Amino acid sequence: MRDVLYLAWRYLVYHRLKTVILVTSITLIVYLPVGLNVVVEQSGEHLTARAEATPLLVGAKGSPLELALNSLYFSPDYPELIDYSEATAVIDSGLATAIPLYVRFRSRSQPIVGTSLDYFEFHELAFASGRPMAVLGECVVGAAVAEALGVEVGDAVTSSPETVFDLAGVYPLRMRIAGVLEKAFTPDDDAIFVDVKTAWIIQGLGHGHQDLARPEAAASVLDRSEDNIVANAALLQYNEITADNADSFHFHGDLAGYPLTAVIAVPNDEKSGVILRGRYTHDETMSQIVRPVTVIDELLDTILTIQQFIVAAVVIVGLATIATAALVFMLSLRLRRREIDTMLKIGGSRPRVASILVAEIAIVIILSCVLATLITLLTWRFGPGVIESVVLS
The residues that touch other proteins, with contacts defined as CB under 8 A, are 3-4, 6-7, 10-11, 13-15, 87, 91, 97-100, 116-118, 120-121, 124, 126, 131-136, 138, 195, 197, 209, 212-213, 227-232, 235, 246-247, 249-253, 268-269, 338-339, 342-350, 352-353, 356
Report, in Å, the least distance between residue 268 CB and other proteins.
5
Q: Which residue, 168 or 390, is less far from other proteins as judged by CB? A: 168
Measured from the CB atom, the residue of 219 and 378 that comes closer to other proteins is 219
Euclidean distance between CA atoms 275 and 180, whole angstroms: 37
C-alpha dihedral sign at 145, 147, 153, 156: negative
What is the nearest approach in angstroms of other proteins to the Cβ of residue 19? 11
Residue type for position 13: V
Cα-flanking dihedrals φ and ψ of residue 204, to 5°? 95, 5
The residues, ordered by sequence, that sit 6+ positions from 380 with a Cβ below 8 Å of its Cβ are: 38, 42
Which lies closer to other proteins via its Cβ, residue 213 or residue 390? 213
Min dist. Cβ of residue 43 to other proteins (A): 27
Nearer Cβ to other proteins (156/343) = 343
Cβ closer to other proteins: 232 or 305? 232
Q: How far is the CB of 391 from other proteins (least distance, A)?
A: 31
Pick 219 or 323: Cβ nearer other proteins: 219
**Most distant pair of Cα atoms in the chain: their distance:** 118
Q: Do 157 and 137 touch, CB atoms closer than 8 A?
A: no
Nearest distance from residue 230's CB to other proteins, in Å?
5
- What are the backbone dihedrals phi and psi of residue 110, each rounded to the nearest 5 degrees, phi first? -85, 135
Residue 19: count other Cβ atoms within 10 Å of its Cβ: 18
Q: Minimum CB separation from other proteins for residue 313, in Å?
A: 36
Q: Shortest gap between Cβ of 348 and other proteins (angstroms)?
A: 3
Please name the residues in contact with 206: beta carbons below 8 A apart, sequence gap of 6 or more.
Answer: 197, 200, 249, 250, 251, 252
Question: Measured from the CB atom, is 207 or 277 closer to other proteins?
Answer: 207
Which among 61, 89, 59, 88 is positioned nearest to 283, based on CA atoms? Answer: 61
Cα–Cα dist 228/281, whole Å: 46
CA atoms of 264 and 295, how far apart (whole Å): 15
Rounded CA gap, 326 and 309, in Å? 26
